[in-house]
Amino acid sequence: MIAEESTKFESGPLARRSFIKALSTAIGANIVFGHLAPNGFMPVALGQMNEPFSIPGKPGLTILNDRPVNAETLPHLLNDPITSASRLFVRNNGLPPETVDIDSWRLVIGGESVVNSKTYSIDELKSKFENINLALTLECGGNGRAEFYPPASGNQWTTGAVGCPIWNGIRLKDVLEDCGIKENAVYIAYHSADQHLSRDPSKDAISRGVPIGKALEPESMIAWGMNGEPLPSHHGYPLRLVCGGWPGSTSGKWIKQIDIRDRVHDGTKMTGSSYRVPKYPVKAGATVPDEDMKIIESMPVKSLVTYPKSGVEVGLNDTLKLNGHAWAGDLEVISVSVSNDFGQTWVEADLKKPVNRLAWQQWDAAISFPEKGYYEVWARAVDSEGTSQPMLIPGWNPKGYLNNSCHRIAVYVV
């Protein structure tokens, strides 16, 4: 649909001007910097006519699918620096375990590259290893998928498959080292208690992992709690992995076994187009051979405007205060800027340091407007390697992963 509209733009500046005018009519205000808007531009206000419906314990979350359950969070509901359980997105690939007995739950450490395979109860894990609490950003690799064209199959996440709770648990490293890691270790792999959608017990719903180097980082966790409470059942009760800054799919929920592997893990959703992207840029809609795909590792730099809510009205002489979060996978964010003229000029935001490595960072900024009308405020973050978020959607890939384009909110100046 956007593609069709942009051909209209290209038929001449007059046609484009009248199209921007039509859009102004649709949203009920003049789009002040309309002449600067990128080709294919659609005001974000247009998509905000409907309020989301809710699920128990997750008021205000937008349900994308109910079997398996998948729900995301509107940006203004993510304003807190630490995400509460009620506002954390849910991404299930299969059917979560229905009953969990925490006392009989066991975690097995095995695999080709473990020295001594061991089995732990949750009490043993809690008492034997140093307990830690870390804020770690969890973002689904498919967050932002809804914007890709041609559309990619899968949950049509917009911006809300991300959050940053405080996780309570232990270092994965400590447990792996307690069992011993052979020299030839390459990867770790999780196996979980959720069922494949078909209920076929021989199939895993998902079984992924991370390279041994990431597993041994001091922030990679086995968690039993979130924000000081036991993990909610949607989020992996009684035990999960948390690999901050990497695709959420590496953070296995309801974990029963972790294998130390002598090869790149080849479990369910490790191969083909699952959580993998082309090694080189491809044409939108292309078919990419398996051998040309690589596993997604650290997530790209990204940010959200979490205040004010998109669609806010401000007076002409008011300065609009904005705030949000920014994160950059394994890296730190070094700057965030905001623009109200489609990126012609930028105002630098005040950016906080992360509370710990791999936690999202808070930013705030103030911006004013030259005349009454409709604006979009865009936020753009830059990571510690100097890589910026793109303003428009990045490279197309078969499953629509890694869309880290700038988030924007609608602002009416009255």
Ligand X SMILES: Nc1nc2c(c(=O)[nH]1)N[C@H]1C(S)=C(S)[C@@H](COP(=O)(O)O)O[C@H]1N2
- The answer to the question of residue 248 lying near ligand X (CB under 6 A) is yes
CB of 245 to ligand X, least distance (A): 13
Applying CB under 5 A, the span of 40-48, 136-144, 370-378, 402-410 interacting with Mo ion comes to 136-144
Closer residue to ligand X (CB): 117 or 268 = 268
Closer residue to Mo ion (CB): 181 or 223 = 223
Q: Which residue among 249, 274, 323, 339 contacts Mo ion (CB under 5 A)?
A: 249
Enumerate residues 6+ apart whose C-beta is below 8 A from 291: none
Instruction: Tell me how far apart the alpha carbons of residues 202 and 200 are, in angstroms, rounded to a whole number.
Output: 5
- The answer to the question of residue 140 lying near Mo ion (CB under 5 A) is yes
Closer residue to ligand X (CB): 43 or 236 = 236
Coil vs helix vs strand at 8? helix
DSSP symbols for 140-186 = -TTTTGGG-SSPPSS----S-SEE-PEEEEEEHHHHHHHH-B-TT--
Q: Which of residues 67-106 bind Mo ion (CB under 5 A)?
A: 91
Take residue 403 and report the two structure tokens written for it: 């869309």
Residue 400 touches which member of Mo ion, ligand X, none, C-beta under 5-8 Å by kind: none
Residue 254 touches which member of Mo ion, ligand X, none, C-beta under 5-8 Å by kind: ligand X
Q: Which of residues 113-142 bind ligand X (CB under 6 A)?
A: 138, 140
Name residue 259's beta-bridge partners.
Answer: 110, 189
Are the C-beta atoms of residues 161 and 248 closer than 8 Å to each other?
yes
Closer residue to ligand X (CB): 89 or 396 = 89
Residue 404 touches which member of Mo ion, ligand X, none, C-beta under 5-8 Å by kind: none
CB of 55 to ligand X, least distance (A): 13
User: How many residues sit close enough to Mo ion to count as binding (CB under 5 A)?
Assistant: 4
CB of 62 to Mo ion, least distance (A): 16
CA separation, residue 238 to residues 219, 229, 257 (Å): 19, 11, 13
The residue type found at 156 is Q
Residue 94 touches which member of ligand X, Mo ion, none, C-beta under 5-8 Å by kind: ligand X
Q: Which of residues 164-203 bind ligand X (CB under 6 A)?
A: 192, 194
DSSP symbols for 263-322 = S----TTSSTTTTEEESS---TT----GGGEEE--SPPPEEEEEES-TTEEE-TTPPEEE
H or E stretch covering 188: strand 187-192
Other C-beta atoms closer than 10 Å to the C-beta of 10 total 10
Take residue 355 and report the two structure tokens written for it: 């509370």
CB of 199 to ligand X, least distance (A): 15
Site string for ligand X, 31-70 (x = CB under 6 A): ----------------------------------------
Beta sheet of 333-339, edge-to-edge order: 312-314, 407-413, 373-383, 333-339, 347-348
Q: With 0-12 CB in 10 A as exposed, 13-18 as middle and 19+ as buried, what is 117?
A: middle
Q: Which residue among 16, 145, 171, 253 contacts ligand X (CB under 6 A)?
A: 253
Instruction: Tell me how far apart the alpha carbons of residues 285 and 278 are, in angstroms, rounded to a whole number.
Output: 12
Q: Which of residues 254-313 bind ligand X (CB under 6 A)?
A: 254
Site string for Mo ion, 192-231 (x = CB under 5 A): ----------------------------------------
Residue 299 touches which member of ligand X, Mo ion, none, C-beta under 5-8 Å by kind: none
Burial 290-324 (b: 16+ CB within 10 A, else e): eeebebbbebbbbbbbbbbebebebeeeeebebbb
Closer residue to ligand X (CB): 296 or 379 = 296
Q: What are phi and psi of 298, to 5 degrees?
A: -60, 140
Could you identify the residue written with the tokens 């719903």? 205
- The answer to the question of residue 240 lying near Mo ion (CB under 5 A) is no
Helix spans in 180-266 (H): 212-215
Q: Which of residues 69-88 bind ligand X (CB under 6 A)?
A: 88
Residue 252 touches which member of Mo ion, ligand X, none, C-beta under 5-8 Å by kind: ligand X
Residue 206 touches which member of Mo ion, ligand X, none, C-beta under 5-8 Å by kind: ligand X
CB of 234 to ligand X, least distance (A): 6
Closer residue to ligand X (CB): 89 or 129 = 89
Q: Which residues bind Mo ion (CB under 5 A)?
A: 91, 140, 248-249
**Footprint of ligand X on this chain (CB under 6 A)?**
88-94, 138, 140, 192, 194, 205-206, 234-235, 248-249, 251-254
